[in-house]
Amino acid sequence: MFPKVIAIPRLCKRHLNQFLKQHIRQCVTVPTSSVPHVCVVGSGPAGFYTAQQLLKGNPDIVVDIYEKLPVPFGLVRFGVAPDHPEVKNVINTFTKTAQSERCSFIGNVEVGRDVTLQQLRKAYSAVVLAYGADDDRTLGIPGEELNNVISARSFVGWFNGLPQDKDLKVDLSAERAVILGHGNVALDVARILLTPVDILKKTDISQHALDALSQSCVKEVLLVGRRGPLQVAFTIKELREMIKIPECKPNLNPKDYLKLNDLLPDLPRPRKRLTELLYKTALEPTPTDKKLWAGAKREWRLDFLRSPVHIYGETKATGVKFAINRLEGEDPVIKTAVVTEETEDIDCGLVLRSIGYQSVSIDKDIPFNMQKGVVSHSQGRVKGLAGVQVVHFSDWKKIDEAEVKKGKECGKPREKLVNIDSMLKIASSCE
C-alpha cells in the first residue's frame, strides 16, 4: 500500500493525544511480515507527541522525526515565552523519546527542499505532517506594510532566538505600543515589553532582544480587541501574570466591566473565574495589588470593541485608526462584532499583530487549501493523494474470514463479498 499521509491539527496536548489515539495508530497498517516505519515531519510538540503514541502503541514500530532546523522541539524552544521555563520541562520527555532505539531525529532536512513528499511516501509506511503553522494571518488594511508593524509570531521568534527572525527590525523608541488581539500570545508579547530587564536577563531570552529591550522607551501597552471583555481569548494564568508584573500597573476602564458582576452566576466556570478577576482588577483591587502598583513606571490596558481599519505613517507606523464595533447575539459570551461608522484614532510607534497563525504548503504534492491555510484532510487523512492499496495474502485471510463468518449467518459455507471497497476496508482493518 502507498503510505497514508496524515495531517496533525493545532490542538492542546489533551485533545492532541485523543486525536492521536483515535487516528494515528489505526492509520499505520502494513503487511504483518514487515516492520512499520513512520516518518513524522516536524519536531515540535505535535511531532513528538505523535512519536510517543506510535512507539507506545506498537512495540515494533520505528519512527523518524524530520526537522528543517538543526535543533528540535519547535514551539517549545521558539514559541514559549522565556519567563515560562516550567512549560519547557516537557523537553525532558521529548528527549527520552528521541533517544529511544526505535526513534531517530533527522535535523537540517527540509521537506520540499531536501526531500520530497513522494520520496517519503515510497520510503515509509506512513507520513505524518506535523510541521505546524509557519505564517501569519494578516489584516489586509492600508499601512500594514509600514516599518514597525510586526507580527506577534515574528516578535516571539525574535526574542526567542528563532534563526529566521534574528534580524527582525524592532524599533522600541516610542512610549506607546499597540497590540492587536486578546489572546495568550498577545499577553506574552505585552509582558515581555513591560517586564523589567533585570528579570528578563535571568531567562533564556536571546541577547540581541535583551539588548534592545534594555534601551526600550515603551511605557504603555494597549491590547485592542474587536469584541468585549466576555470574549477575550487569553486564560486566567496569563492575566494573573500581567497583573503582577513588577513596576507596572493595569489601567482598566471601570465602565468596561461594571455589568460583568451580574453575569457571573450564569457563566461556565473557566470563563467565570477569568471574568471575575477582570472585574475585581478594574473595580475592587486588593490592598496587595494597590501596593504593587504604587509608583509603577509602566502600564497596560485592554481596549474593546475596536477593529483596525488603517495604520498611519509615512515610512513607520505612527498610529492606528479603529472602527468602533457593537456586539450582536443573544448569548452573553457568543457575540458577533459588527462595525459601525464611528472611528477612533490611537497614536503609537509600534504595532504588533496578534490575530493568529496559518499553515503553509511545504511541498507541491500536498493538497493545500490556500483560502483556509490548512492541508486538505478528512479526519486527519490527507485528501487527494494518489495511491494504490496493495492486498497481501495476510490481508486476504481477513477477507476470507469475513466471508466465512457471513456465510455461517445464513447457513452457507461462505458468502462472497462482491463489493471491492468492502474487501479493501476489511483488508486494511487492524483486526
Q: What is the DSSP string of 243-306?
A: HT-TTEEE---GGGTTTHHHHGGGS-HHHHHHHHHHHHHHH---HHHHHHHTT-SEEEEEE-SE
Classify domain 4-134+359-382 by CATH architecture: 3-Layer(aba) Sandwich (3.40)
- The predicted pLDDT at position 29 comes to 46
Q: Give residue for cell 495589588.
A: 289
Nearest to 317 by CA among 149, 167, 158: 149
- The predicted pLDDT at position 131 comes to 87
Report the DSSP beta bridge partners of residue 325.
339
Q: Are 129 and 7 in contact (CB under 8 A)?
A: yes
Nearest to 359 by CA among 135, 29, 38, 167: 135
Phi, psi of 4 (to 5 degrees): -75, 150
Domain 155-355 has CATH 1.20.120.530: no
Q: Are 120 and 83 in contact (CB under 8 A)?
A: no
Q: And the C-alpha cell for 49?
A: 507527541
Q: Is 169 exposed, middle or buried (0-12, 13-18, 19+ CB in 10 A)?
A: exposed
CA dist., res. 15 & res. 4, Å (int): 22
- The predicted pLDDT at position 381 comes to 72
Write down the pTM of the prediction. 0.82
Nearest to 36 by CA among 19, 60, 15, 52: 60
Q: In a 3-state reduction of DSSP, which class is residue 190?
A: helix
Sign of CA dihedral 151, 157, 159, 165: negative
| Domain residue spans of the chain | 4-134+359-382, 155-355, 393-421
- The tens place of each residue's pLDDT in the chain, 431 residues long, gives 445 566 665 555 555 556 555 555 444 444 444 688 999 999 999 999 999 999 999 999 999 999 999 999 999 999 999 999 999 999 999 999 999 999 999 999 999 999 998 899 889 999 999 988 877 889 999 999 999 999 999 999 999 999 999 999 999 999 999 999 999 999 999 999 999 999 999 999 999 999 999 999 999 999 999 999 999 999 999 999 999 999 999 999 999 999 999 999 999 999 999 999 999 999 999 999 999 999 999 999 999 999 999 999 999 999 999 999 999 999 989 999 999 999 999 999 999 999 987 777 777 777 777 667 777 666 677 766 658 576 888 889 999 999 999 999 988 898 999 998 899 899 888 66
Sign of CA dihedral 393, 399, 402, 408: negative
Q: How many CB atoms lie within 10 A of CB 378?
A: 8
